[in-house]
Structures are given as structure tokens and as C-alpha cells.
């Protein structure tokens, strides 16, 4: 099972405050543990929403909204993508994580990633082939 582990933003992360050397060391050590355990697929931190944009869809209309975005608690500061046996295993790993926002309350969200079998008959053999081609192509870049 794959899970996306989402680190929620804080006022500091949205203000562009960089993590301390101590936090970067702790997170680096945690990431090494994840890699050695064979569960880490990918991870990264995200720039503040002031450097981002959103595209709002309404029928055929597209509206671009430049950041920053107001609701900090709904924003993402970073993520991991893990391959684990269960949600419970993901929870146990998150509980071992250093506090990503020292000095304040922080929240990490755990979300399971859809797998092909989750889509049922609507995910036809042709669509499965297409997804496999796209994933193989993406890995080349």
C-alpha cells in the first residue's frame, strides 16, 4: 500500500522561515531510517504558497489565482510517499517523525494512494496499459 504523508504548513513555513540545522539534521536522519527500511519512495518540502498559484475550474472556464493563500492550516509544507503494509504501519512511522514545526503545534496527514484495483471495471485494460506507459515514460525523465 502506498501512502502520502502530508506535512501541514505553519505561519513560519508560509513566511519562508527556513528550518534550523538541528531540524534539518533530525529530518535527514529520519529520512535515512525510512530509506533503510525500504519504505521511502519520495519526499520533498514545498515553497510557501506566495510562490504558487491555483487554477479554478468552472465548466470550460479556467481562472488563475496567485498565492499566497490565507488558510495556512489547509496548506501543505511538504510530503513523503511511502510503501508500507498498512495504515497502522504508516501511523507508527509518523509517530517517530521529528516535530516538523518546532515551537508550535504541527499536523501530519496520512492519505492512502489509489491503486489500479481500487477503480473496478471502469479502469479498462486499455486504460491500465495507458497508465503503465505514462508511468514508464515519467520514470525516464
Rounded to whole angstroms, how far apart are CA atoms 87 and 74? 22
* pLDDT one-digit tens code per residue, 13-22: 999 999 999 9
Pairing of strands 76-83, 61-66: unpaired
Q: Give bridge partners of residue 5 from the DSSP assignment.
A: 80, 110
Query: Of 116, 114, 118, which is closest to residue 126 (Cα–Cα)?
Result: 116
For the chain, what is the domain count?
1
Task: Name the residue with cell 525510512.
Answer: 34
* pLDDT one-digit tens code per residue, 45-96: 999 999 999 999 999 999 999 999 988 778 999 999 999 999 999 999 999 9
Strand ranges (E), 68-131:
76-83, 108-112
Q: For the residues 113-136, what does the mean pLDDT come to?
A: 92
* Percent of the chain surpassing pLDDT 90: 87
Residue 124, pLDDT score: 93
CATH number at residue 28: 3.30.70.1060
Mean pLDDT rounded to a whole number for the chain: 95
CB 80 within 8 A of CB 122: no
Residue 70, pLDDT score: 86
Could you tell me the residue range of the domain that residue 106 belongs to? 2-139
CB 111 within 8 A of CB 1: no
Amino acid at each position: 500500500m502506498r501512502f502520502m504523508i502530508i506535512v501541514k504548513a505553519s505561519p513560519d513555513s508560509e513566511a519562508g522561515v527556513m528550518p534550523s540545522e538541528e531540524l534539518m539534521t533530525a529530518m535527514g536522519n529520519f529520512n535515512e531510517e525510512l530509506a533503510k527500511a525500504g519504505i521511502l519512495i519520495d519526499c520533498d518540502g514545498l515553497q510557501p504558497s506566495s510562490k504558487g498559484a491555483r487554477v479554478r475550474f468552472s465548466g470550460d472556464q479556467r481562472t488563475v489565482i496567485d498565492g499566497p493563500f490565507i488558510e495556512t492550516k489547509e496548506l501543505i509544507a511538504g510530503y513523503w510517499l511511502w510503501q508500507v503494509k498498512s495504515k497502522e504501519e504508516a501511523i507508527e512511522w509518523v509517530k517517530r517523525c521529528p516535530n516538523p514545526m518546532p515551537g508550535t503545534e504541527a499536523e501530519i496527514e496520512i492519505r492512502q494512494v489509489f491503486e489500479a484495483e481500487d477503480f473496478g471495471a471502469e479502469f479498462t485494460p486499455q486504460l491500465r496499459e495507458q497508465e503503465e506507459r505514462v508511468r514508464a515514460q515519467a520514470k525516464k525523465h
